[in-house]
Structure 1
Amino acid sequence: MKFTQFTVEEKKNFAKGFMFGLESEYLVVKKDDLTPLWHQDLTFELLNGIFESISLEGVPSCDGLDLEPPQTKLMPFVVEGYHLPDMTMNAKEILPKGVEIRTPVCKSLPEVLEVHKILYSRLKEAMNKNGYDIVALSHHPMESNFSGPQNKRRHDYWQWSMEVMTTYGPDINVSLPPVLAEMIQEADLEAKINYYGPALSALSVASPFLNGAPWEIRGETGKSFRMYKRSYIAPPIEFHPTEKNRYEFKVFDMPNSIQEIEAQFLAFLALVLDEGLQGRATKQTRIYDLGQVARKGLDAEEMKERATELLERAPAVLNEWGYSAEALNIFKERVATGRTPADEMIELYKKNNSLTDVLRERSRFKV
C-alpha cells in the first residue's frame, strides 16, 4: 500500500491529524561579555529557579512531556546536562551543559512554530534578567571533552551521555495518524534517511569551532564538530510507536531563525511523505557520509545533488498534504550558493578573530 492511493483531499484530511513538537538546546553565556558557560559555572538549582519564574500563560498544556528528575515541576524548559545517578541509577543531580526548550504537543505546524517563539522569547527575557543569555551554537566553542561517573547501566549509553555534554541540537518531532504510520516500513524509511539525511545535515552545519578557535582538520576548517562527534554512533531518527507514532528526527544542527525551523520540519515531512525518492543507503554509508559532511558541509560528495533532488520534489509533495514549501527557500539558496551557517560564522570570526562576534550574532533569533 502506498500514499498514492489517497486523493489530495484525503491527504489533506490526514494531515489535520499530524502532531508536532520541537526540542531545542542552547548554550548559556554571560549576558555582559558573552563568555560561554558550562557545568563549572552553572547549577541545576539556578537554572531551574529561572525556569519556574517564567509564565506559561497562553501556552498549551505540558501533558505528554516527561518530568525529568530532579525537576519537580512539569515545564517546557529543562536543564540539559549530565545526570549524576544514585545507587539505583536514578538521576539525583544534573551537571548543566545548557538549557532546552520543549514545546508541548501541537496540532499543527504553525502552532508549534508560534509556541516555540513564545517560549524562546520568555526564556531569553528571564535569562537576561538574571545576567545570562542563550546562543544557538551546536557545539560548545571552548569545551570538547567531559568525563563523569557511570550514569547508565549500558556502557554505550554511558559513553554517549559523556559525548553529548558539549553538543546542542534540535529534535524535530512529528506524529502520524495510525493509518499512515502502519503503512510505513521502518527499515525502508531508515534506509531512505541514511541516504538523504546527510544532505539535510549538510544544509544546516553550524558548529565550526573547537577549543576557542576554528576547527581545523586535515588542512581545512571543518563545518560541524557536533556532526563529527555524532556521525559514528548517534541515530538519525528514533521511532516511538507507543507515543502516538512519534518520529524524532535528529540530523540537523541548531538553527537561529523561525524560517529555518519551519524548513527543517518541512524537509522531514517531504522525506517521509515522498514515495518517489529512490535513494537508499546502509548505516555504514551514512556514517561515512556524515563524516564528510562534518568536514566539508555542502561540498561533501553528492550532498548538493541529493539535497537538490529532495528540495525540487518537495513543493508538489507537500502541497498535496496541505503544506506550503515556501520556507524551504532558505535551503534552496544554500544549495545554490554553497554557503551554510558554518561558512557565515567562519567569515564573521575572521573579520576580527573574534568568537564573541559569532556568539553575539547567534544569540539573535530571527523571527
Structure 2
Amino acid sequence: MKFSQFSQEEKMNFAKGFRFGLESEYLVVKKDDFTPLWHQDLTFELLNGIFESVSLEGIPSCDGLDLEPPQTKLMPFVVEGYHLPDMDFGAKEILPKGVEIRTPVCDSLEHVLQVHSTLYTRLRAAMNAHNFDLVCLSHHPIHSKFSGPQNKRRHDYWQWSMEVMTTFGPDINVSLPENLAAMVSDEDLEAKINYYGPALSALSVASPFVDGNLWGLKEGFGKSFRMHKRSYIAPPIEFHPTEKNRYEFKVFDMPNSLEEIEAQFLTFLALVLDESLQGRASKQTRIYDLGQVARHGLAAEDMKERATELLEKAPAVLSQWGFNPKALEVFKKRVLTGKTPADDMIELYQKTQSLKEVLKSRSEFRV
C-alpha cells in the first residue's frame, strides 16, 4: 500500500501520531568579547551547575531522554564533549566542547519548536549571567584537531569521537506511528536521502572557518568544514526502530533561527512522505556529493536542481498531512539567491576582518 492511497482526512489523522524531538549544539563564547571557548576554558562542573539552575517549569517530562554520565540529574541540557573513560570504558569525566539543548518528546511540530524556544531563551539567560554566550556555528572557528585517550572499545568509534570535538549541529528527530513506519523501506529512504540529502546540506552550510581564518581553497573559500569532516564517515540518518520508530536526521549545519529549524523538519517530512521523489543514490555518491557541498555549497554540481525539485513538490504533500509549509520559504530564497549562511559569514568577515563580529552575528537565535 502507498501513502497516496490514503485520503487527506486519513493522512491528517495519521499525522496526529507523529512525535518530534530536537537536539541542537552550541559553541560557547565569552559574552563580553566573544572569545571562542573550548575544553581548556570550560569545566563540566561549571556548565552543569548552570544547567541545574534553569527552571523547567512548563517543560514536558524528560522521561525517555538518556541520562548521560557524569550528569546525575535528567535535564534537557547536556555538556557536549569528550568522555574520559574508566577501566571499563564508562564515562568518569567529560572535556566540554560546548552545550546541547535536547527537547523532550513533543506531540506536534509546533510544540517542539515552542519548547526549544523556551529552553534556549532560559539557558542563554543563565549562561549570560555567568559571562557566557551561545553561538550557532557548526565548527569551532579556532580549533580543528583534538586528541584524547581511547574512550571507545571500537577503534572507529574512538576516532569519530575525537573528530566531533570541534563540530556542532542539529539532530532532527521524528517518530512515525507503527502502521506508517511499517510502510517505509529504510533502505529506500536512505537511498533517497543519499540523493537529496547533500542538496539539503548545501542549503544550510554554516562553518567557513578553520584555525582562526576562512577555510581557503584554490578558488574562493570553503563553506562547511563540519561537512568536510562528516562527509566520508557520518551517516545522514540513523534508524531507531525500537525507540517508537524514531528517525534521526543529521544532514544540516547549525541554524540560527526557529524558522530554519522548522524548515529542516519540513524537508525531512517531505523526504519521507513524498512518493513522487524519484532520485536515489549510493552511499559512495553521497560521500562525493557532500565533499563538493562542503567546499562549494549551493554552487556544487546539481545541488540547486535537487533542492528545487524537493522544495517545489513539498508544499502540496505537506499540506495533505496537515503541516504548514510556509517555513520552507527560507530555503526557497537561498536557492533563488544562491546565498547561504556561510556566504553571509564570509562576506561579513571580509568586510570587517573580525571573527568577533561574525560570532556576534551568529549569537542571535531568532525565535
Length-normalised TM-score, structure 2: 1.00
> Matches of 2:184 and 2:269 in 1, distance apart?
13
CA positional deviation for 1:8: 0.5
Unaligned runs of 5+ in 2: none
Aligned to 2:331: 331
Output the amino acid matched with 2:286: R
Aligned to 1:281: 281
CA positional deviation for 1:252: 0.2
Aligned to 2:202: 202
User: Secondary structure at the residue paired with 2:101?
Assistant: strand
CA positional deviation for 1:217: 2.1
Superposed counterparts of 1:219-298, under 5 Å: 219-298=219-298
Aligned to 1:122: 122
Mapped pair 1:307 → 2:315: no
Aligned to 1:58: 58
> Matches of 1:173 and 1:216 in 2, distance apart?
34
Aligned to 1:47: 47
Output the amino acid matched with 2:33: D
CA positional deviation for 1:220: 2.0
> Matches of 2:185 and 2:95 in 1, distance apart?
39
> Matches of 1:178 and 1:343 in 2, distance apart?
41
Aligned to 2:317: 317
CA positional deviation for 1:218: 2.5
Output the amino acid matched with 1:293: V
Aligned to 2:79: 79
1:236-260 deviation line (CA, Å, top 9, x unaligned): 0000000000000000000000100
Output the amino acid matched with 2:121: S
CA positional deviation for 1:352: 1.3
Aligned residues: percent identity? 79
> Matches of 1:172 and 1:58 in 2, distance apart?
22
> Matches of 1:352 and 1:242 in 2, distance apart?
50
> Matches of 1:352 and 1:245 in 2, distance apart?
47
Aligned to 1:17: 17
1:209-230 deviation line (CA, Å, top 9, x unaligned): 0011100123320000000000
> Matches of 2:198 and 2:154 in 1, distance apart?
28
> Matches of 1:296 and 1:350 in 2, distance apart?
18
CA positional deviation for 1:2: 1.0
User: Secondary structure at the residue paired with 1:216?
Assistant: coil
Report runs of 4+ in structure 1 exceeding 3 Å deviation. Answer: none
Output the amino acid matched with 2:88: T
> Matches of 1:13 and 1:92 in 2, distance apart?
46
> Matches of 1:356 and 1:335 in 2, distance apart?
28
> Matches of 2:360 and 2:309 in 1, distance apart?
35
1:305-344 deviation line (CA, Å, top 9, x unaligned): 0000000000000011001110000000000000000000
CA RMSD in angstroms, aligned pairs only: 0.5
User: Secondary structure at the residue paired with 1:290?
Assistant: helix
Output the amino acid matched with 1:332: K
Output the amino acid matched with 1:164: V
Mapped pair 1:89 → 2:89: yes
